[in-house]
Structure 1
Amino acid sequence: MSFSFASLGSGSRGNATLIRSNNTLLLVDNGFTIKETERRLAILGHSPDDITAILVTHEHSDHIKGVGPFARKYGLPVYLTHGTAQYDGLNKVAEMHQVNIHRPFAVEDIDITPVAVPHDAREPCQFVFRHGGKTMGLLTDLGSITPHVTEQYQQCDALMLECNHCPQMLAMGPYPPSLKHRVAGHWGHLSNHQAANLLEQIEVERIQHLVISHISEKNNTEALAKSAVTPWYSNDSLILAQQDEAIDWLSVN
């Protein structure tokens, strides 16, 4: 029974993730243009017609600006929370499903658990996906690790995890003070150290693939992100998601 995931791109200039089973292909977020989404899908062996549905985590532009245009062009259903649905770029989407952030749901043969996270959006969530007895967790865009988050991501067979910034680089970097405060705050983005703290608390021995994602181009480096998590996860399946390139399919067996 096939279960896999891939990244179309991850970072402040656009995010999109694919979750795939034998019969279902989910696109989670889309911060890219229609043309760029089509191009990156083709690299991963798919066309827009293969997509079953789009899921949205929150309304920040690097995650949602491509959702409305893409869903309208290809007649795709969109799943999102009530708060995220207030985003005004989703008008004329053919089919909208507002999910209860406290209740699991399914799209075809993939079971999905939305996870409430602390982030400065209307009703943000992340997702845990299950198929064929395996679990893949997607966890980016949150400012702190709550007990609820730790519980929901405790038993993942694969995990895509935010390592957004190094606090020292952020403090010394080019952002204005207000933006530095936002990124580093409890409703902002995870630092390398916060991501490592989560790995310390969950069953990392189960994780077949760990993908470090949403790495800031100005406030972090791949080397710093990698060095923070390797004390807890140091095998060959540690991958760093790229902003400008897709990550090929990773199977969850």
Structure 2
Amino acid sequence: MRFASLGSGSQGNGTLIEWSDGALLLDCGFSMKEAELRLARLERSPRDLSALLVTHEHGDHIKGIAAMARRYQLPVYMTPGTYHSRDLGVIPQLRLIEGYRAFRIGSLEVEPVPVPHDAREPSQFIFCSDGIKFGVLTDLGSISPHVEERYCDCDALLLEANHDPVMLASGPYPPSLKQRVGGAWGHLSNQQTAGFLARVDTDKLQALVIAHISQKNNSLAAARAVLDPVTQSVARVQYACQDEGFGWIQLRAPLTSAALA
């Protein structure tokens, strides 16, 4: 399995995931033309995709989904709440995720995970293929016990560290938006992300990508100051950016006890 990013932040998100017999784009918060250009940077096009998958209905995650689905005749997976929250027009191959039930796309196992976020029926996802467990966890305001339990033993994580509380409090957002971002249904702070990482098994992580970093309420220096102390054991730590996302990260199946014998 491997994954890469078209971009990560409030101006648009998209994560490209490939496995042995398929590929999907998780979210498309860009216009279709912009998404095509960003896919081309990764030497891919929408024609290479097996499916589109959506976390929730906010524009920085869903903007280009319907147009891409129609032009390239791609199946789209999302929860009923996400679908009914916006007028997306006709989606020829709509696959509704009912009750957060797990499903498969080819050999890829997809586990939807409910998260506390200010959307109608938001979901984050865990992907399993060839013995690899890859978790994507962004756009949530707090770590519920269920979320922590499901993401505690991943081989790789794409994890939100959205804001620095001091920068958010003193920044340009109006009070209502500051309350929303910093609330239990908004986005994770650097400190919340660090606390989560301190509680899970980071020794197993082949790769950790810190994502959805706010351009107005956070900085790379602020995030690293909080997160570096709890990521010392991680083999690879990377920080995603809005404009460039990040390039391909290859994951390999962990060696089993039988293979080590």
Query: Moved runs in structure 1, 4+ residues, more than 2 A?
Result: 87-90
C-alpha separation in 1, matches of 2:123 and 2:45: 27
Structure 2 matches for 1:114-153, cutoff 5 A?
114-153=112-151
TM superposition shift of 1:88: 2.9
Contact persistence 1:25–1:50 (CA under 8 A): yes
Structure 2 matches for 1:38-187, cutoff 5 A?
38-187=36-185
- Aligned partner of 1:251 in structure 2 is 250
Identity over the aligned pairs, expressed in percent? 52
Q: Please, what is the CA RMSD of the aligned residues?
A: 1.0
TM superposition shift of 1:167: 0.4
What whole-Å deviation, never above 9, does each CA across 1:176-229 have from its counterpart, x for those lacking one? 000000000000000000001110111100111110000000000011112211
Contact persistence 1:101–1:114 (CA under 8 A): no
The worse-fitting range, judged by mean Cα deviation, of 162-171 and 221-230 is 221-230
What whole-Å deviation, never above 9, does each CA across 1:23-81 have from its counterpart, x for those lacking one? 11010000001111111111111111000000000000100111111111111110001
C-alpha separation in 2, matches of 1:227 and 1:21: 34
The alignment partner of 1:227 has SS state of helix
The worse-fitting range, judged by mean Cα deviation, of 223-232 and 148-157 is 223-232
The alignment partner of 1:12 has SS state of coil
- Aligned partner of 2:227 in structure 1 is 229
Long gaps (5+) in structure 1: none
The alignment partner of 2:217 has SS state of coil
Contact persistence 1:101–1:125 (CA under 8 A): no
| Structure 1 counterpart of 2:182, one-letter code | A
C-alpha separation in 2, matches of 1:249 and 1:63: 20
- Aligned partner of 1:30 in structure 2 is 28
C-alpha separation in 2, matches of 1:210 and 1:125: 20
* TM superposition score normalised by structure 2: 0.94
| Structure 1 counterpart of 2:176, one-letter code | S
Contact persistence 1:8–1:40 (CA under 8 A): yes
Contact persistence 1:139–1:162 (CA under 8 A): yes
| Structure 1 counterpart of 2:163, one-letter code | H
The alignment partner of 2:157 has SS state of strand
Equivalent residue pairs, number: 251
C-alpha separation in 1, matches of 2:88 and 2:49: 18
* TM superposition score normalised by structure 1: 0.97
Contact persistence 2:164–2:222 (CA under 8 A): yes
TM superposition shift of 1:101: 4.0
- Aligned partner of 1:241 in structure 2 is 240
The worse-fitting range, judged by mean Cα deviation, of 232-241 and 18-27 is 232-241
Long gaps (5+) in structure 2: 253-261
